[in-house]
């Protein structure tokens, strides 16, 4: 009788310990579901050069658990998370804005966080007759060195009006257009605009920034890009028929404009650091068993393509 009572008490104590430990466990930390508040810029004129779009919102991520990718009408685009400004920096190509259209922009985190429940609309405005830039010599100068000082940018084109403004990445800059002069605009560009290497999108716009010329690219030059090197993939294999997969590419010499290539074809890439980028591999690439060469390419100046790492599809 004593032994049975002792066994029962021991069993009850064990259950209490188990319940207590279960109650103390934290729920798994799933990726957040991202939300979008606005896009900048939110419109551009058809026929513009490629440009950088900024997405503001909440729930964005860039860590060993995964990264946020922006989607342009459901198709992923290369993305970098600016943690200081809490915004996504998205690369949009010239082919994305070749013709007038409205585009839904969304953001996705790895499952189970998933796709954003909200979207924002980006508008590609039709070309306004007579309001153009004179290419290929629309800008003078057409480039500047990163870290340089303030300067005056001259923009050549047609159809300018006295109150039109020169825009730099969608933001107006102090602009002068002489009365009755429809071909030349000058804008004051601050040193903060060229603090780091990259590109800026330049256009001439009406004051309300709805009607504008197609944009053209101003280049901010910096040191030559390094030659990238790939050391490993994580994961390095997957199952045929899997859904879209984020593959972490580790190595060295990566830059914010690095692009991961799958069998020689570029894939949406997210920059984390000089030693890590993430590629979004669509399910179509994983439909059949086999292997795929994965490389990283850095653009000129400098740059180059790394040697390949192998991804296995079982």
Handedness of CA 143, 90, 275, 268 (dihedral sign): negative
What pLDDT digit, counting tens, does each position of 47-84 carry?
999 999 999 999 999 988 899 999 999 999 999 999 89
In Å, how far are 14, 69, 100, 153, 236 from 241, measured between CA atoms? 45, 21, 35, 52, 16
What pLDDT is recorded for position 113?
Answer: 74
Q: Where are the domains of the chain?
A: 35-125, 132-221, 229-313
Q: Is the dihedral of CA 178, 184, 190, 192 positive or negative?
A: positive
- Please tell me the class of the 35-125 domain: mainly beta
What average pLDDT is seen over the chain?
90
Q: Residue by residue, what is the 3-state secondary structure of 243-283?
A: CCEEEEEEEECCCCCCEEEECCEEECEEEEECCEEEEEECH
pLDDT tens per residue, range 125-156: 999 988 999 999 999 999 999 999 999 999 99
Higher pLDDT, 21 or 269: 269
Q: What local confidence, expressed as pLDDT, does residue 11 receive?
A: 42
Ramachandran angles phi, psi of 120, nearest 5°: -125, 150
* Structural tokens at position 74: 């459901």
Distance of CA 286 to the CA centre of its chain: 23
Mean pLDDT of 87-116: 92
Cβ contacts of residue 65 below 8 Å, gap of 6+?
31, 110
Question: What is the reported pLDDT for 151?
Answer: 98
Whether the link from the prior residue into 155 is cis, omega within 30° of 0, is: no
All residues at 6 or more sequence positions from 267 whose CB lies less than 8 Å from its CB, including other chains: 259, 260, 261, 279, 280, 281, 282, 285
The second-level CATH assignment, the architecture, of 132-221 is Sandwich (2.60)
Please write the tens of the pLDDT for every residue from 231-242: 999 999 999 999
Of 5-19, 115-129, 275-289, least confident by mean pLDDT is 5-19
Which is it for strands 101-109 and 69-72: parallel, antiparallel or unpaired? antiparallel
Cross-strand bridge partners of residue 248:
234, 278
- Percentage of the chain beyond pLDDT 90 is 80
Q: Would the pLDDT of 25 be above 70?
A: no
For strands 216-221 and 143-145, give the pairing.
Answer: parallel
SS3 23: helix
Topology match between the domains 132-221 and 229-313:
yes
CATH code of the region 229-313: 2.60.40.10
What the block records as the tokens of 233 is 């993939």
In this predicted structure, which of 22-36, 70-84, 94-108, 112-126 has the lowest mean pLDDT? 22-36
Question: Any bridge partners for residue 202, and if so which?
Answer: 168, 216
**Residue of 129 and 205 predicted with greater confidence:** 205
């Amino acid at each position: 009788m004593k032994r049975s009572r002792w066994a029962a008490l021991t069993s009850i104590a064990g259950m209490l310990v188990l319940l207590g430990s279960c109650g103390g466990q934290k729920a798994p930390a799933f990726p957040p579901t991202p939300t979008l508040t606005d896009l900048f810029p939110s419109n551009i004129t058809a026929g513009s050069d490629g440009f950088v779009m900024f997405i503001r919102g909440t729930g964005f991520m860039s860590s060993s658990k995964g990264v946020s990718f922006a989607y342009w009408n459901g198709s992923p685009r290369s993305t970098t998370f600016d943690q200081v400004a809490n915004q996504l920096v998205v690369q949009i190509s010239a082919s994305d804005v070749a013709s007038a259209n409205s585009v839904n922009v969304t953001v996705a985190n790895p499952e189970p966080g998933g796709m954003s429940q909200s979207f924002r609309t980006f508008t590609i405005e039709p070309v306004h007759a007579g309001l153009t830039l004179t290419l290929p010599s629309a800008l003078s100068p057409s480039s500047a060195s990163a870290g340089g000082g303030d300067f005056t940018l001259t923009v050549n084109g047609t159809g300018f009006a006295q109150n039109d403004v020169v825009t730099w990445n969608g933001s107006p800059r102090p602009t002068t257009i002489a009365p009755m002069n429809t071909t030349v605009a000058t804008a004051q560009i601050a040193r903060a605009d060229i603090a780091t290497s990259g590109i800026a999108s330049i256009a001439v716009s009406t004051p309300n920034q709805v009607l504008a010329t197609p944009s053209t690219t101003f280049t901010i030059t910096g040191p030559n890009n390094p030659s990238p090197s790939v050391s490993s993939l994580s994961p390095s294999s997957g199952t045929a028929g899997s859904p879209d997969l984020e593959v972490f590419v580790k190595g060295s010499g990566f830059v914010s404009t690095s692009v991961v290539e799958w069998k020689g074809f570029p894939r949406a890439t997210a920059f984390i650091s000089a030693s890590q980028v993430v590629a979004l591999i669509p399910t179509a690439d994983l439909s059949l068993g086999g292997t795929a060469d994965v490389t990283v390419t850095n653009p000129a100046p400098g740059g180059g393509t790394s040697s390949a790492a192998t991804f296995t599809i079982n």
